[in-house]
Amino acid sequence: MFIKFCGAARNVTGSRHLLEIGGKKILLDCGMFQGGAKEKVRAQNEGFLFDPKAVDFLILSHAHIDHCGMIPRLVKLGFAGKIFCTQATRDLAEMMMLDGAKIQFQDAAFVKKEMGKEIEPLYSEADVHAAVKLFTTYEYFQKFKLIEGVWVTFYDAGHVLGSAITAIDFKEEGSQKRLVYTGDLGRKYMPILNDPYQVDHANYLIIESTYAGHLHDSFDSVEDELSRIIMDVTRRRGKIIIPGFSLERTQELVYVLHKLYDEKKIEPIPIFIDSPLSVEVSKVFDRYENYYDNETFRDFLSRKESPFHSPEIKYVKRIEESKALNTFKGSCIIISASGMCEAGRIKHHLKYHMGDARNLILVVGFMAQGTRGRQLVDGASKIRLFGQLYPLRAQVVVMNAFSAHADKLELLEYVKNVSDLENVFVVHGEENQCLVFRDNIINILKMKCRVDVADLGEEFVETPEGMQSLKGTRREEYLNKIKDLKLKV
């Protein structure tokens, strides 16, 4: 078995992990790199650290753009194998990728208009449609055969609707082995979704580390804190602007706000969901009530009521309606994408509202390094939008209790409860988070397995002595040197 880490290595975005098992190449996720210098990010997204034509299968953990966003480009460059995921992930990924294609063309048009440069979109809507034809779906606990001797099972990751932990069971020289990829691991006791499924055994674990060095606030405090924020802002006749990821975060916010209205804990001010993609994603949520947790049934479905619809909640699709929000009189809540403020209508809402000290920008999700959202969190006094600097006078509040990623204790607990571990690979975290997680697994959990934080492009091979890095060595040279060890490949 080989593992090559082609994205989200000492970084949060661009998840792409290439396995070679039984002579077949299996790609875990194919995400978009985000944040940082535009030229560098584009270069990372233009190419792959492998030949797309040589990949046999793709397994998709969930539909966030940093996990599915480059699937159409993979197909454009020659991938023609099957793509496996849950049904909800398939439906959501199609929307996310089509939205990505639209943004690609908008960005290309903007660069041509403002800079006079021609750039080719990374992929088109036609590439998205070609990719969608390759999808095959399975549900949680539905074990399926990938090839002879290799079986795959999805478990609920509790991160976003349809998100899956992937377990791959296979034989290596007569020994039964299991590799588990968490994708993005959710949290317990969050609204809408079930808690992450605890996988009880694995030989190899590829696990995320987004918040491996942080402790989140309890979600129990969210309703009180959100109520207080809304009351404070409405008293000063301000507006609340929330950069919201179209998938999951927006639905969680609407769920909590709807509940607060029903319980009369806040005044019924309008909530505008100003994102065409969020509108469509919410429709998918309505179709997959079987994915909801017991609390959602208790709070809403038992009353034949949707968490995502009420008189105060208004979904905005037309651009004219969106522009009208700039001159809306009185207090309101505007939830708009993109979540990291890099694209979409949120940029316009920041431009028109962040200069007013009465307003508040509520950050409820992870902001990658190099993004406008990260500038908000880091206390910037000015933000560049549409080529100009605008002053930031609005109050900025961060609520990390909404995070859909497991925190330090939740991640450690997850690893602790996996038996038979030989190797843990830490991915999907900024470098300091990856290293903290590695050290905590070794020093706090006292685990005897090997723990690696891979570099981008680093490859590992299974040997009789365990997984070994090929860092600094070409694969062919390495195999020639140690062929007497009878590598298990």
What is residue 377's predicted lDDT score, i.e. its pLDDT? 96
pTM higher than 0.85? yes
Instruction: Return the number of other C-beta atoms located less than 10 Å from residue 265's C-beta.
Output: 15
Report which secondary-structure segment, H or E, holds 352.
helix 346-353
Q: How far apart are CA 222 and CA 235, in angstroms?
A: 20
Question: Quick check: 341 pLDDT over 60?
Answer: yes
What is residue 1's predicted lDDT score, i.e. its pLDDT? 94
Contact 373, 340 (CB under 8 A): yes
Q: Report residue 165 as tokens.
A: 């932990």
Report which secondary-structure segment, H or E, holds 47.
none
Q: Say which residues have a Cβ less than 8 Å from residue 290's Cβ, sequence separation at least 6.
A: none
Q: How far apart are CA 251 and CA 169, in angstroms?
A: 34
- Region label for 370, one of left (φ > 0), alpha (ψ between -120 and 50) or beta (otherwise): left
Mean pLDDT of the chain: 94
Q: 151 burial class (0-12, 13-18, 19+ CB within 10 angstroms)?
A: middle
Report which secondary-structure segment, H or E, holds 165.
strand 164-172
pLDDT single digits (tens) 32-67: 999 878 888 999 999 999 999 999 999 999 999 999
DSSP structure class, residue 211: B
Q: Helices 431-443 and 408-416 sit at what angle, rounded to 10 degrees?
A: 50
Query: Which 3 state secondary structure label does DSSP give 33?
Result: coil
pLDDT single digits (tens) 317-339: 999 999 999 999 999 999 999 99
Least confident window among 9-13, 52-56, 215-219, 438-442: 215-219
Q: Report residue 248 as tokens.
A: 């999951």
354: closest CA among 337, 339, 334, 369? 334
pLDDT single digits (tens) 228-255: 999 999 999 999 999 999 999 999 999 9
Confidence at 476, pLDDT banded by 50, 70, 90: low
Q: Helices 222-235 and 249-262 sit at what angle, rounded to 10 degrees?
A: 80
C-alpha angle 240-245-248 in degrees, rounded to nearest 5: 110
pLDDT single digits (tens) 76-91: 999 999 999 999 999 9
Confidence at 268, pLDDT banded by 50, 70, 90: confident
CA-to-CA dists, residue 237 to 108, 234, 246, 357, angstroms: 39, 5, 27, 11
Question: Quick check: 113 pLDDT over 80?
Answer: no
Query: Which 3 state secondary structure label does DSSP give 157?
Result: coil
SS3 sequence, 111-143?
Answer: HHHHHCCCCCCCCCHHHHHHHHCCEEECCCCCC
Q: How far apart are CA 350 and CA 118, in angstroms?
A: 28
Largest Cα–Cα distance in the chain? 77
What is residue 482's predicted lDDT score, i.e. its pLDDT? 55
Residue with token string 């580390």: 209
pLDDT single digits (tens) 416-454: 999 999 999 999 999 999 999 999 999 999 998 999 999
- In the chain, the domains with their CATH numbers are 2-214+404-485 (3.60.15.10), 219-402 (3.40.50.10890)
pLDDT single digits (tens) 120-157: 999 999 999 999 999 999 999 999 999 999 999 999 99
What is residue 483's predicted lDDT score, i.e. its pLDDT? 57
CA-to-CA dists, residue 33 to 9, 52, 123, 383, angstroms: 11, 17, 14, 22
Question: Quick check: 488 pLDDT over 50?
Answer: no
Q: How far apart are CA 484 and CA 366, in angstroms?
A: 47
